[in-house]
């Protein structure tokens, strides 16, 4: 595939204008005297708050969580405690949720004062933290705090499972004409700990706006547990895609000649990464490293047609999964709560 000529037809990497929305901003890093504001509304921030509420109980020997570290308690365990019989443990979690919600509301308020975020009518909250009862409670409580303060912007949890939203959003990167007559696309969601590759079933006959799109099949690889190089990670990623292509052929899923990629950082027009990929192994911000080119050179064709690849920021792509459901709003955004706080603001076209 001649990457430049193909992408000239389908759009640019990290584009400000996409088929359904304009991307007003993304990957903003807000700071104050204490550092990055996003760090106050991250998974680590919640764990720190939980730890802070456990400390006075540890001193009296009444810590309901015992010797287990706050980082070692999974969201599922915390959710179970919230509805369990241990009232004291549930109260500790609720205290941490309240503190986190207060910080999230403050961070949202700061975003809403930015020029690029003025006029935002709705904010979708995604990321792994959202996929839990405690996450839903924190989002709902932050929404109440904002409304009590007079804000007109509402917060709502992302509709799709966060693990799938980053894949489904990739379909919204492609111009509609490239999807016609096909059943699905290949999608990649790259994170600081995991890589997820999948086949997104478009279901255009049920809904042309992709509101019925779903993940037909996906595979996950946790690269954080292995000593892997950047090139080793890309090689594994490509092998995952090739396996999915074979499975799609076996399952009679006709793939469009398109691969959508969600990746951390600021994405340049040529597909290189300007900044923000520091949590990935190796140097992803090198001007000599081009992920979409590497994919296109390894998977030259899909279904007999040249492979087109488009890359955008992971928060942007996760937000795009909500496009069909944001038609009542002109300007809206997304915050993704995970290791950090991803962000993007959109204007519907």
**Based on C-alpha coordinates, what's the Rg of the chain?**
21
- What confidence category does residue 8 fall into, taking pLDDT thresholds of 50, 70 and 90? very low
**What percentage of the chain carries pLDDT values higher than 70?**
97
1, pLDDT greater than 80: no
pLDDT attached to residue 7: 58
Mean pLDDT throughout 131-159? 95
Mean pLDDT throughout 319-323? 98
Mean pLDDT throughout 268-282? 94
Cα 259 to Cα 303: distance, rounded to the nearest angstrom: 13
Q: What is the pTM of this model?
A: 0.93
271, pLDDT greater than 70: yes
Domains of the chain: 3-20+161-320 (3.30.420.40), 31-157 (3.30.420)
> What distances in angstroms separate CA 111 from CA 13, 44, 108, 173, one per listed residue?
25, 20, 5, 25
Cα 254 to Cα 328: distance, rounded to the nearest angstrom: 33
Tens digits of residue pLDDT in 113-125: 999 999 999 999 9
pLDDT attached to residue 36: 79
């Amino acid at each position: 595939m001649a990457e430049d000529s193909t992408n000239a037809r389908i759009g640019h990497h990290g584009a400000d204008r996409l088929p359904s929305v304009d991307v007003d901003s993304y990957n903003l890093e807000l700071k104050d005297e204490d550092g990055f504001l996003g760090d106050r509304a991250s998974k680590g921030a919640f764990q720190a708050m939980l730890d802070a509420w456990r400390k006075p109980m540890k001193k009296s020997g009444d810590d309901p969580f015992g010797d287990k570290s706050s980082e070692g308690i999974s969201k599922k365990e915390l959710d179970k405690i919230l509805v369990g019989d241990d009232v004291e443990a549930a109260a500790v979690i609720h205290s941490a949720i309240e503190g986190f919600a207060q910080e999230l509301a403050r961070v949202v308020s700061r975003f809403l004062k930015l020029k690029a975020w003025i006029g935002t009518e709705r904010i979708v909250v995604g990321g792994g933290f959202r996929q839990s009862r405690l996450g839903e409670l924190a989002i709902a409580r932050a929404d109440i705090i904002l409304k009590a303060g007079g804000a007109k912007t509402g917060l709502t949890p992302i509709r799709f499972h966060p693990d799938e939203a980053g894949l489904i959003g990739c379909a919204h990167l492609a111009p509609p004409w490239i999807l016609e007559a096909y059943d699905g696309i290949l999608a990649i969601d790259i994170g600081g700990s995991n890589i997820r590759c999948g086949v997104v079933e478009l279901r255009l006959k049920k809904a042309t706006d992709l509101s019925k799109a779903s993940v037909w099949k996906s595979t996950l690889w946790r690269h954080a547990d292995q000593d892997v190089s950047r090139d080793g990670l890309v090689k594994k990623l490509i092998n995952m895609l090739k396996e999915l292509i074979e499975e799609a052929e076996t399952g009679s899923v006709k793939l469009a000649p398109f691969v959508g990629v969600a990746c951390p950082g600021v994405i340049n027009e040529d597909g290189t990464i300007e900044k923000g990929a520091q949590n990935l192994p190796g140097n992803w911000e090198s001007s000599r490293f081009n992920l979409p080119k590497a994919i296109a050179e390894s998977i030259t064709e899909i279904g007999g047609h040249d492979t087109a690849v488009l890359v955008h920021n992971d928060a942007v792509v996760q937000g795009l999964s909500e496009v069909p459901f944001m038609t009542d709003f002109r300007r809206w955004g997304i915050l993704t709560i995970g290791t950090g706080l991803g962000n993007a603001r959109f204007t519907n076209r």
